[in-house]
Amino acid sequence: MRKTIGKAAVLVTSVALLAACSTSGDEEGTDESMSPEPTTSASETSDAIDATGQTLTIWTDANRKPAIEAAAATFEEETGATVELVEKNFEDIRADFLAQVPTGEGPDITIGAHDWLGALVTDGVVNTVDLGANASSFSQVAVDAMTYDGQVYGMPYSTEAVALIQNTDLVGTEAPATWDDMIAAGEESGAKYPFCINVNGETGDGYTMYPFQTSFGAPVFVQEGGSYTNEVGMGGDAGEAFATWLSENGEKGAGHLSTTIDYAINNELFNSGDCAYTVAGPWALGDFADVNFTVNAVPSAGGEPAAPFVGVQGFYVSSQSANALLANQFLTNYIATPDAMQALYDADPRLPAFEGVDTASAPFPDAIAGFQASAEQGVPMPSIPEMGSVWDFWNAAEAKIIKGADPVDTWNKMITDLTAALAG
């Protein structure tokens, strides 16, 4: 699943996505008390320090480098510091950061993904960050994703989430309220398949299916105070209800879910008009050149909101940085600004996590609001280390149930095996 997302960076870029995705993971971030404060630019701050002779080393990939260079030039001019940008393959950054920081090497700041956070905190290689005067301009779900045990360890700048994509020639633009409404509309459209979704063949894909699972009240891990615990949350009656739903809609049931469908086949079915609805991320839009579509939030199958995983990218500060104060000032006063966030979007268009970013240049501007709506219902993908142990058990159980295995027995065995693995 993550490989599909990662290697689709070109499509994410072309898709410029989504959404002024000034998203918020829940309604708590949308009341008047959280209304945005006036934003400030770096040149308007009065607390710039004299950092003559100091150097900040920043790791970035090629895509984001031009935007960071622009912020660094202003920073150097106003503080007297020197910024050294080191270009790295994004796929190498996590391992290199974990290996080098404990030795006193590595950067002061690195770009990275939020789901690295558990390992970074556990290994003691990151420091907390201050979001600065423009903190309220960040989407709440993005801040939540960069939070671990109540502390913010990263400055977010982009988000990503799956959503419902529908063929407007077949089913119009109105968002279905429920799974049943969606299936009924798809059947009435005359499409060969009312709905299709990537199941990653017989491997399973809990990531893409997750909005439907959460609509049954079965989160992968229990949350307390906004942070994930290591307690598995998808067992019990809610998990069994979701598993039963998988079976009812699987290959021996209604047939809406099938292990014959992988990412490429799913996209081909939707693009050809054989499928009225699908669930996919912004990275898939480049495959839908032959069909008119719109994007909406995923409908509920179990009665509760369908909350997809939200992925976030941002900046981390090394715990071993000799210039931690300077690193934080660079982030709060020179990255957390409208100009810098716009430059990051323009350099590598991804769903912005900062209010006010202009996404009008997106190739699919009409899709932005739909991905935004989906992400606003979403939750951060767990960044705790235990999440790495979940995928194989979880994906395999879903695939077996869709293929026809007993839903309750298969699901409960998965919970038992996963719990034992986490305890061991």
Report the relative pairing of strands 221-224 and 227-232 from DSSP bridges.
antiparallel
Output phi, psi for 384, to 5 deg. Answer: -70, 150
Rounded CA separation 175/400 (Å): 30
**Can you tell me which residue has the tokens 């960044």?**
383
271 pLDDT higher than 60: yes
- Evaluate whether 424 touches 259 at the Cβ level (below 8 Å): no
| Burial class for 41, CB neighbours closer than 10 Å (0-12, 13-18, 19+) | middle
- Evaluate whether 294 touches 168 at the Cβ level (below 8 Å): yes
Predicted local distance difference test score (pLDDT) of residue 227: 83
Q: H-type helices in 161-318, by residue range?
A: 168-171, 179-188, 206-214, 236-248, 263-271
Q: List, as one string, the DSSP characters of 26-82.
A: SGGGGSGGGPPPPP--GGG-S-----TT-EEEEEE-TTTHHHHHHHHHHHHHHH--E
In terms of CATH, what superfamily is 163-307+383-423? Periplasmic binding protein-like II (3.40.190.10)
Give 185-237 pLDDT, tens digit per residue: 999 999 999 999 999 999 999 999 999 999 999 999 998 877 899 999 999 99
| Burial class for 400, CB neighbours closer than 10 Å (0-12, 13-18, 19+) | buried
- Evaluate whether 230 touches 222 at the Cβ level (below 8 Å): no
Phi-psi region of 327 (alpha: psi -120 to 50; beta: other; left: phi over 0): alpha
Query: Band of the pLDDT at 47, cuts 50, 70, 90?
Result: low
Q: Name the architecture of domain 50-160+311-358.
A: 3-Layer(aba) Sandwich (3.40)
30 pLDDT higher than 50: no
Q: Over the range 151-188, which residues count as b (16 or more CB within 10 Å of their CB) and which as e?
A: ebbbbbbbbbbbbbbbbeebbeeebbeebeebbebbee
Rounded CA separation 156/315 (Å): 6
Query: Band of the pLDDT at 57, cuts 50, 70, 90?
Result: very high
Give 291-346 pLDDT, tens digit per residue: 999 999 999 999 999 999 999 999 999 999 999 999 999 999 999 999 999 999 98
Query: Band of the pLDDT at 39, cuts 50, 70, 90?
Result: very low
Q: Which H or E run contains 391?
A: helix 390-403
**Domain boundaries along the sequence of the chain:** 50-160+311-358, 163-307+383-423
- Evaluate whether 392 touches 422 at the Cβ level (below 8 Å): no
* Nearest alpha carbon to residue 163 among 302, 401, 366, 390: 366
Output phi, psi for 148, to 5 deg. Answer: -135, 125
Q: Which H or E run contains 231?
A: strand 227-232
